[in-house]
């Protein structure tokens, strides 16, 4: 029988009314001493199948609680689940992922915003549960499918349409320094957090959780030799599933030699110690710890003893194991960090490297990775331009030729000149692109650039290697970003950009983010105020003065009603004939227009009316 009293969890082996009454008496004594009272409405009881109806009624008369429900949650986790129903029990996590698409701004995010949302929100939703449960590949694949679709497509009205995935998800999940987007794989995150949880059992054996787990599952063994063929909780089953990863990447530093040679990973062959032991010899007693293999009163290996007990091969391996001078218990260390402590991050990196080693090497050109590293590190490039640069260099843009290979009905021709639209044509060979590059601050003739059939990294690398002051990665990719937007407007919206508009917007994109990153000017320094950088040559400390002569100030507002027929536009005009006079001497006019207008149109009408008044 199991009775749950939040936050207290009681477990009894037998449905014995006498034991139940004893527990009840203990609770009553506790309540009398502490002044607290159990909340029976939030408690429940679960009987095994063999408990009779009479026993159930008798016990429930002592504990007035309801029957245990299968969907009962405790600290965010289902209390009782089976391995078969584990995915079904945690289906609420999948629903949480889907609910994020109902956000108002989710459909307006560009790729940079989607990447931020994936790395912050989507990556954090299952973290709490991943630290306790090893989910199945099928369940994690469902969550990954949501993230992958959102990255390539965003939020669409018809979510049943599958987007085109131009790159594999493995390529997206690689670190940025290796040509990926830095998205973490959920399966590796799950295992990494459980490895860290298992490490805490080893590194902190005196903790409450470690003592409870040891007393229940391996009272006479260690975590390394605990049996997996017993009834176990979901958490302990998850720990046993990742135990081999932890075992492979730990080492023990010998100080006092108190490490057991039979149930701890103290050597590469520790699991074979029983098989190597020579039971026929009678010269030595069977050792128990590492110090039993040392010479008396020293920390030197007893070669004769080791060879006699375990053979020459074992001796050759143990000679390589260092022994640290000093006193203290032996220390278990994580090999992959300088401080010897395991973390979820180091465990994830280890799993990612092992997975990459088991897969064929990527065919990403080294120059692509070098350019992307430069782009990711540049703090003056806007995030949306950075993600565009990744899509461009990783051949993940939906050009006409690339989509035509997948969907035959899509026209592969350029909407401007009728030539086949690939990356090279779109950004360098089209007449519009050539005019744009030539009219830019770079003054570039794109027909002089080297050509490549495997991407644009050769052309972009050639531009960056010229080392000209204006030839920065920011302006290059900003122009290419605007070329891509102009192409989409021309192809889908029949909107024609001019080269001057494109270059103006590209320059604004490149400069505005850099201006926003600059530190604000100190306003308390009055000694060198004449030498400060100011806006358009204006002195920020000088008082604002109104020029002589009449001044006219205009403003407009738009009030949108439920019915368009009642929309109104209001225009206000204030005329100050002599600036030296007080504001009370000015004239103010209000004009109401019974017409629906856009805010920009209303402002233009206010300026027009002010100009006519002057």
Tokens of residue 571, six digits: 């225009």
pLDDT of residue 551: 76
- Residue 182, Cα to own-chain centre: how many angstroms? 8
Q: Give residue 83's pLDDT.
A: 58
Per residue in 142-180, pLDDT tens?
999 989 988 998 876 555 678 889 999 999 999 999 999
Domain coordinates in residue numbering, the chain:
2-69, 86-184, 250-334, 366-516, 551-613
Helix or strand holding residue 593 (H, E): strand 587-593
Alpha-carbon gap, residue 83 to 238, rounded angstroms: 11
Query: Are residues 579 and 591 in contact, defined by beta-carbon separation less than 8 angstroms?
Result: no
Q: Tell the residue number behind the tokens 């003056």, with chain if given.
A: 380
Of 107, 176, 168, 118, which is closest to residue 147 (Cα–Cα)?
118
- The C-alpha angle with vertex 234 and arms to 333 and 72, in degrees rounded to 5, equals 135
Rounded-to-integer distance, Cα 185 and Cα 113, Å:
19
Q: What is the pLDDT of residues 443-478, one digit of tens each?
A: 888 888 888 888 899 999 999 988 677 788 999 999
CA distance to 340, 399, 470, per residue, from 372 (Å): 32, 21, 19
pLDDT in tens, 28-71: 888 888 888 877 777 888 777 778 888 888 888 887 888 877 66
CB within 8 Å of 491: residues ≥ 6 apart: 415
Percent of the chain at pLDDT exceeding 90: 43
Cβ–Cβ < 8 Å for 560, 567: yes
Contact by Cβ (8 Å): 491, 483: no
Neighbours of 239 (CB within 10 A): 24
d(CA 546, CA 301): 93
Q: Are 422 and 401 in contact (CB under 8 A)?
A: yes
Please give the Cα distance from 316 to 298 (Å, whole number): 19
Would residue 168 be called left, alpha or beta, if left means φ above 0 and alpha means ψ between -120 and 50 degrees? beta
Supply φ then ψ for residue 487, to 5 degrees. -65, -45
* Residue from 229, 9, 234 nearest 131 by CA: 234
Alpha helices (H) along 46-85: 53-62
Q: Helix (H) and strand (E) counts for the chain?
A: 25, 11
pTM for this model (two decimals): 0.75
The verdict on whether omega for the bond into residue 7 sits within 30 degrees of 0, i.e. cis, is: yes
Q: How far is CA 217 from CA 84, 229, 262, 449, in A?
A: 22, 11, 18, 68
Q: What pLDDT is stored for residue 583 in this prediction?
A: 52
- What pLDDT was estimated at residue 381? 93
Ranges of residues in the chain whose predicted pLDDT is under 70: 1-15, 70-71, 74-75, 80-85, 101-107, 156-160, 467, 515-549, 560-567, 577-586, 594-598, 614
């Amino acid at each position: 029988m199991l009775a749950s009293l939040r936050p207290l969890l009681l477990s009894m082996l037998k449905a014995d009314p006498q034991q139940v009454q004893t527990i009840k008496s203990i609770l009553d004594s506790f309540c009398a001493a502490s002044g607290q009272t159990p909340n029976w409405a939030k408690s429940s009881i679960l009987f095994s199948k063999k408990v009779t109806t009479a026993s159930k009624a008798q016990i429930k008369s002592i504990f007035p609680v309801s029957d245990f429900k299968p969907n009962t949650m405790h600290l965010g986790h289902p209390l009782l689940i089976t391995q078969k129903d584990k995915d079904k029990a945690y289906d609420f996590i999948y629903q949480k992922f889907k609910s994020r698409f109902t956000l108002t701004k989710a459909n307006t995010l560009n790729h940079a915003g989607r990447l931020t949302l994936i790395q912050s929100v989507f990556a954090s939703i299952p973290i709490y549960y991943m630290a306790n449960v090893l989910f199945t590949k099928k369940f994690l694949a469902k969550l990954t499918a949501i993230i992958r679709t959102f990255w390539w497509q965003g939020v669409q009205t018809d979510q049943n349409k599958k987007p085109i995935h131009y790159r594999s998800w493995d390529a997206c999940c690689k670190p940025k320094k290796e040509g990926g987007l830095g998205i973490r794989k959920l399966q590796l995150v799950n295992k990494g957090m459980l490895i860290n949880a298992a490490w805490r059992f080893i590194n902190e054996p005196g903790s409450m959780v470690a003592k409870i787990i040891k007393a229940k599952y391996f009272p006479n063994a260690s975590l390394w030799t605990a049996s997996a063929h017993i009834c176990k909780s979901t958490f302990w089953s998850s720990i046993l599933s990742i135990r081999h990863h932890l075992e492979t990447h730990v080492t023990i530093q010998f100080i006092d030699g108190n490490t057991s040679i039979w149930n701890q990973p103290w050597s590469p062959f520790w699991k074979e110690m029983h098989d190597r032991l020579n039971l026929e010899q009678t010269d030595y007693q069977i050792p128990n710890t590492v110090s039993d293999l040392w010479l008396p009163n020293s920390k030197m290996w007893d070669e004769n003893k080791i060879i006699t007990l375990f053979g020459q091969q074992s001796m050759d391996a143990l000679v390589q194991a260092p022994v640290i001078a000093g006193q203290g218990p032996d220390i278990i260390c994580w090999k992959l960090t300088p401080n010897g402590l395991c973390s979820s991050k180091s465990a994830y990196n280890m799993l990612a490297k092992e997975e990459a080693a088991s897969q064929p090497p990527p065919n990403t050109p080294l120059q692509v990775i070098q350019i992307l590293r430069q782009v990711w590190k540049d703090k003056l490039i806007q995030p949306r331009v950075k993600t565009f640069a990744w899509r461009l260099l990783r051949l993940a843009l939906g050009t006409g030729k690339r989509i035509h290979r997948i969907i035959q009905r899509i026209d592969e021709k350029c909407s401007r000149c009728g030539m086949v639209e690939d990356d090279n044509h779109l950004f360098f060979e089209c007449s519009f692109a050539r005019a744009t590059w030539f009219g830019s601050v770079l003054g570039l003739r794109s027909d002089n650039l080297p050509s490549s059939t495997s991407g644009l990294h050769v052309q972009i690398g050639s531009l960056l290697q010229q080392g000209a002051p204006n030839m920065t990665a920011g302006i290059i990719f900003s122009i290419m970003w605007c070329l891509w937007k102009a192409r989409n407007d021309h192809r889908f919206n029949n909107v024609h950009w001019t080269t001057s508009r494109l270059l103006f917007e590209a320059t604004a994109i490149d400069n505005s983010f850099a201006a926003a990153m600059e530190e604000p000017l100190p306003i308390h320094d009055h000694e060198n105020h004449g030498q400060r950088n100011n806006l358009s040559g204006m002195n920020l400390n000088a008082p604002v003065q109104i020029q002589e002569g009449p001044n006219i100030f205009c403003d407009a507002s738009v009030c949108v009603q439920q019915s368009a027929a009642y929309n109104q536009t209001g225009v206000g005009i204030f005329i100050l004939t002599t600036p030296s006079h007080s504001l009370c001497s000015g004239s103010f006019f209000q004009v109401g227009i019974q017409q629906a207008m856009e805010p920009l149109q209303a402002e233009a009408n206010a300026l027009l009316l002010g100009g006519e008044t002057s």
